[in-house]
Amino acid sequence: MISRLVKKIKNSLQALWHGFADTINANKKKSILGVFLALLLVIALTFLTLTVNSKIRAAQMDNLIYEDLPTKKIVPFSYGEGDKMINEKKAVSVMFAKPNQTETRKALQIIKQKEDELNRKFYYYPLVYQTPEIKNTYNIASDEVTFVFFQNGEEKNRFTLNSVKDPKENFIPELNRLPMWNIEVEENKK
């Protein structure tokens, strides 16, 4: 009984295939044009999917993360531009942090309260998409707020918000000293 059913399905599929092949052979130009158009459609949809995905992520970051930044001294990286900016800029200070964690909100609150004491701008690299790659590239813990100073794409100094004793008093001075990595090295040599 099962073998008859399998044979019947097999014969039906063969009949459909032969009918399809006959139609293609009868209309070769239309068939080639149809295959070509289908291939173009697949390529266009693939390209559209890839570009729209990154644009959606960029828009999400702009609307959900960057609008809430408390000061103009925090410069957000455009989506997908963080690594490029770090490598191309001569000197850059970067904050790596998940936008929705308590420590990030604490850091932003202190920055807002003591904005006048902050002596330079720094970049914000939110850990939202591609977090494992960013963690591995920059050797950071995703659950901490990490500040890193880069010179010519090379890390020179870093600290985490958790490593600062009494953050309300010492966080902004520590952030201001971040680019002064060579002074710390000289002091340690003495």
Give the residue extent of every domain in the chain.
2-63, 72-189
Answer for the pair 68, 107: CB distance below 8 angstroms, yes or no.
no
CATH of domain 72-189: 3.40.30.10
How many helices (H) and strands (E) are present in the chain, helices listed first? 7, 5
pTM higher than 0.75: no
78-109 per-position pLDDT tens digit: 777 888 899 998 999 999 998 888 998 999 99
CA distance 145 to 161: 6
Looking at residue 126, the DSSP 8-state letter turns out to be E
How far is it between the farthest Cα atoms of the chain?
92
Confidence of residue 63 (pLDDT cuts 50, 70, 90): low
Rg of the chain's alpha carbons, rounded to an integer?
28
Q: How far is CA 176 from CA 13, 41, 59, 120, 180, in A?
A: 74, 54, 31, 7, 8
Q: What residues pair up with 7 in beta bridges, in sequence order?
A: none
Answer for the pair 160, 144: CB distance below 8 angstroms, yes or no.
yes
108-162 per-position pLDDT tens digit: 999 999 999 988 889 998 888 788 898 999 999 988 999 999 999 999 999 999 9
Q: For the residues of 41-108, what is the DSSP string, one character each?
A: HHHHHHHHHHHHHHHHHHHHHHHHTGGG-S-TTEEEPPTT-HHHHHHHSSEEEEEEE-TTSHHHHHHH
